[in-house]
């Protein structure tokens, strides 16, 4: 009887989607977010405090833009926002350009 209950619980749990193989998928913008973070760190020599994906915009048939807001702190302790636009070709996944805009607004 105990084995039957154990077997039923195993089947129910496996059918309910509680398995670890259904891990959260990596978002499409993750690749571009990594580029935004690395390029910001390189350009400004800062620590990244917070990261927000704003969204994707289709500019033309062969160019899209991922937008990010990074809250950063420089070596003097000053905190500010850097908005980063990452332009790329959505078909080839080729990076086109990275643009930065600083802001002291949250």
Of residues 11 and 97, the one with the higher pLDDT is 97
Assigned fold of 45-106:
Nuclear Transport Factor 2; Chain: A, (3.10.450)
Q: Provide Rg for the chain, Cα atoms.
A: 21
Q: Give the residue extent of every domain in the chain.
A: 45-106
Q: Which long-range contacts (CB under 8 A, 24 or more apart) does 93-98 make?
A: 93/31, 95/35, 96/63, 98/35, 98/36, 98/39
Contact (Cβ atoms closer than 8 angstroms) between residue 51 and residue 38: no
Question: What is the rounded average pLDDT for all residues in the chain?
Answer: 85
**What confidence tens digit (pLDDT) does each residue in 33-82 have?**
999 999 999 999 999 999 999 999 999 999 999 999 999 999 999 999 99
Residue-by-residue DSSP string for 26-44: PPTTHHHHHHHHHHHHHHH
- pTM value is 0.75
């Amino acid at each position: 009887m105990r084995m039957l209950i154990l077997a039923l619980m195993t089947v129910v749990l496996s059918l309910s989607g509680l398995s670890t193989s259904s891990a959260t998928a990596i978002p499409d913008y993750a690749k571009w977010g990594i580029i935004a973070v690395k390029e910001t760190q390189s350009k400004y020599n800062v620590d990244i405090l917070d990261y927000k994906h704003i969204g994707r915009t289709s500019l033309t048939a062969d160019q899209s833009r991922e937008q990010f807001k990074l809250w950063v702190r420089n070596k003097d302790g000053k905190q500010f926002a850097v908005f980063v636009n990452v332009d790329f070709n959505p078909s080839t996944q080729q990076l086109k350009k990275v643009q930065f805009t600083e802001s002291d607004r949250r």
